[in-house]
Chain A
Amino acid sequence: MSTPILEVRDLIKVYPAATAVAGISFSVPAGICFGLLGPNGAGKTTTIEIMEGILPPTSGEVRYRGEASGGRFREEAGILFQKTALQDFLTVRQCISLFRGLYDHGLAVDELLRLCALEKLAGRDNRKLSGGQQQRLLLAIALVNDPDVLFLDEPTTGLDPQARRNFWELVQSIKAQRKTIILTTHYMEEAELLCDEIVILDHGRIVAQGAPRRLLHEHFAQVLLELPRHDFPAAARALPLNILESSDRIEITTDDLEATLRTLLAAQVSLTHLRIRPANLEDLFLELTGTELRS
């Protein structure tokens, strides 16, 4: 088997007030999109920033192409932080030119503008961009050195659905160039669409790791039935079903759909608002941690 492009070994990060990362290990094969998933405070950003070389770990190490990551990593990595301000008064083109000037090799500024659909915005002050445009500019900056590995830390948080979809299309076109992408997100749809492999983090530990489909297959042979909470009488909770309650709905997991529907009808549960769907990563997270992912 070839050397993974990135390897995280026994990583621990302890802050005075809390342990952010409590001993995690995984490796990332080259050319895939690798997702770090988890709720806020799970340790995603700390982990990705240690991988990026921005934060020092308390213990453990990150290896890039089989070696301790150093100067070569800086030249070959592209990074999009969760929050980045650029210099005031600089246009989109000038921001890209500044970062392009910091690397020995990379893409032409015009090429980057085209790749990230910024041609029409090239002369605009970077502070006058919408959220989606700003993220596209930061993506262009992350791509200035034509990186082999691209880090995206919650790149679509705060974007409207249209801007988010546009951004996903850009990431998919980068993925098509066989670049390695490390993505943190708490949007399950994003992870399912983009990631080939994921790690789910909770309280600084890995609770699941693998390809999204395989993980779902392993944990959910069944289907999910969703009912509004107010349609589910208290007496029905005693039924012999696998029930999970959340704030506004009841979820029932089953591998015998017909039998479950019969049981519910016999208990006089209204099925008017019933939804039946396959399990998704959100369900997986709920199953693994007992917490809602976006909490």
Chain B
Amino acid sequence: MMHRLLAVLHARNLEFLRDRSTLIFTLLLPVLLVIGMGFVFGGPERPLFKVGVLAPRIDRAVHPFLRERYVEFIALPEEQAALQKVRHQQVDLLVDLRDPPRYWVNTDSPKGYIVEKLLLAAMPAASRQPVTGTALRYVDWLFPGILGMNMMFSCLFGVGYVVLRYRKSGFLKRLYATPLNAFEFLSAQVLSRLGLILFVTIVLYGGIGAIIGFHNAGSTLLLLLLAVVGALSMIALGLTIAARFASEELVGGLLNLLTWPMMLLSGIWFSLEGSPRWVQWVAHVFPLTHVLDAARAVMLDGAGLAQIAPQLLFLATTALAFLAFGAWSFRWRID
């Protein structure tokens, strides 16, 4: 079994590596995207202070401080998540108005220093809880999103269209006449694409990371594991689409139907925090959402295996389910 899988894997790798234009495009697109996004979003911050309030919602009647002008107040019900935002300087200060009043300020943040003065003028008795941490730039937050998006396109379109092309040209029919079975063939396609995606992702991670000066807060090995499981899930999803059909229009349409909602709802460009509950519920159907949630948790917050285990489990389960469905519904020839 193994020698058949390896023969197909080797041939597919050769085919891809010799297709220079596709190879260059695969490497170039995400680099351009990151540079473009960094340029667009890397400009000066908005001249507004952001203060997190440890409460389920903002009630301006509770304290005069909440009526300060030029300050945006954000309700943050969970203390740990809220503290993380102070560390990353996503909020300039966090305040708990319950008795006794407390506040957390990032001593590395210049804006935190100013807004602290405002708070103390309105609430002199509040006790200070210092926090440290460098500012999280949008580009740092975007970085996992770009890697994930590139991975998604490469997984879905790369495998989907290759299998479709093989079926239309009759190459699959020729393979069917050999002892090769669907599982061996599909596994070889998955492994070939997985190898490519990991290579590209590692190159981009190192390259772009160096350009933007990114530092991973967590384990790189854990990120690699996440990339493997996430890519497997999305490649297998692409295979379920390409398993049966022989029409480019149909497969293209179905792949677009999958990629566009993922582009918008998986949290590539902006956080889904604060979006309606149904949007978040829909977003969690997509493998990419789980990849990005876990990647950001590791890369930005230094999360360990235990913290991202639910995402890894979801991705591994869907990878197996999609692959099994793909092999079951696979068609070698056009009738």
Q: A residues engaging B (CB < 8 A)?
A: 52-54, 71, 74-75, 77, 79, 81, 83-90, 94, 97-104, 141
Q: Pick 5 A–B contacts, CB within 8 A, sort by A.
A: A81-B170, A87-B15, A94-B11, A99-B178, A100-B7
Q: Using Cβ atoms and an 8 Å threshold, which residues of chain B touch A103?
A: 178-179
* Known contacts A54-B333, A97-B7, A101-B3; A87/B178 CB under 8 A: no
Q: B residues engaging A (CB < 8 A)?
A: 3-4, 6-8, 10-12, 14-15, 18-19, 166, 169-171, 173-180, 333
Which single member of A74, A85, A90, A101 contacts B177 (CB below 8 Å)? A74
Contact A102 B4 (CB under 8 A): yes
Q: Using Cβ atoms and an 8 Å threshold, which residues of chain A touch B6?
A: 101
Complex CA gap A155/B142 in Å reads 56
Contact B177 A79 (CB under 8 A): yes
Contact B169 A52 (CB under 8 A): no
Which single member of A53, A71, A85, A87 contacts B12 (CB below 8 Å)? A87
Contact B7 A81 (CB under 8 A): no
Which single member of A52, A71, A79, A90 contacts B179 (CB below 8 Å)? A71
- Work out how many contacts link A and B, with CB atoms closer than 8 A: 72
Q: Which of B12, B170, B175, B178 gathers the greatest number of chain A CB atoms within 10 Å? A: B178
Contact B179 A74 (CB under 8 A): yes
Contact A87 B11 (CB under 8 A): yes
Residue of B with least CB distance to A84 = B174
Contact A87 B171 (CB under 8 A): yes
Residue of B with least CB distance to A71 = B179
Complex CA gap A88/B15 in Å reads 6
* Known contacts A53-B177, A98-B10; A89/B170 CB under 8 A: no
Complex CA gap A102/B8 in Å reads 8
Contact A54 B19 (CB under 8 A): no
Q: Using Cβ atoms and an 8 Å threshold, which residues of chain B touch A86?
A: 171, 174
Which single member of B19, B170, B171, B180 contacts A102 (CB below 8 Å)? B180
Complex CA gap A77/B176 in Å reads 12
Contact B14 A54 (CB under 8 A): no
Contact B169 A85 (CB under 8 A): yes
Contact A83 B170 (CB under 8 A): yes
Contact B14 A89 (CB under 8 A): yes
Contact A81 B174 (CB under 8 A): yes
* Known contacts A87-B11, A89-B18, A99-B178; A54/B4 CB under 8 A: no
Q: Using Cβ atoms and an 8 Å threshold, which residues of chain A touch B14?
A: 89-90, 94
Complex CA gap A99/B175 in Å reads 8
CB distance from B20 to the nearest CB of A (A): 9
Contact A54 B178 (CB under 8 A): no
* Known contacts A74-B178, A81-B173; A101/B4 CB under 8 A: yes
Q: Which of B6, B166, B174, B175 gathers the greatest number of chain A CB atoms within 10 Å? A: B174
Complex CA gap A89/B22 in Å reads 13
Contact A54 B176 (CB under 8 A): yes
Complex CA gap A179/B169 in Å reads 29
Complex CA gap A81/B19 in Å reads 26
Q: Using Cβ atoms and an 8 Å threshold, which residues of chain A touch B177?
A: 52-54, 74, 77, 79, 81
Complex CA gap A102/B15 in Å reads 17
Q: Using Cβ atoms and an 8 Å threshold, which residues of chain B touch A104?
A: 3, 179
Given contacts A85-B169, A98-B8, 5 further A-B contacts (CB under 8 A): A52-B177, A84-B171, A89-B19, A90-B11, A102-B7
* Known contacts A74-B177, A89-B15; A98/B7 CB under 8 A: yes
Residue of A with least CB distance to B174 = A84
CB distance from A240 to the nearest CB of B (A): 53
CB distance from B52 to the nearest CB of A (A): 55
Residue of B with least CB distance to A85 = B169
Complex CA gap A291/B7 in Å reads 47
CB distance from A181 to the nearest CB of B (A): 16
Q: Using Cβ atoms and an 8 Å threshold, which residues of chain A touch B174?
A: 79, 81, 84, 86, 141
Complex CA gap A102/B185 in Å reads 11
Residue of A with least CB distance to B6 = A101
Residue of B with least CB distance to A125 = B18
CB distance from B248 to the nearest CB of A (A): 15
Contact B15 A90 (CB under 8 A): yes
CB distance from B264 to the nearest CB of A (A): 34
Q: Using Cβ atoms and an 8 Å threshold, which residues of chain B touch A74?
A: 177-179
CB distance from A71 to the nearest CB of B (A): 7
Q: Using Cβ atoms and an 8 Å threshold, which residues of chain B touch A71?
A: 179
* Known contacts A81-B170, A99-B178, A102-B178; A88/B11 CB under 8 A: no
Complex CA gap A222/B175 in Å reads 48
Contact A102 B12 (CB under 8 A): no
Complex CA gap A94/B169 in Å reads 18
Residue of A with least CB distance to B4 = A102
CB distance from B168 to the nearest CB of A (A): 9
Complex CA gap A85/B171 in Å reads 5
CB distance from A227 to the nearest CB of B (A): 45
Contact A88 B173 (CB under 8 A): no
Complex CA gap A102/B7 in Å reads 7
Q: Which of B11, B173, B180 gathers the greatest number of chain A CB atoms within 10 Å? A: B11
Complex CA gap A53/B170 in Å reads 15
Residue of A with least CB distance to B171 = A85
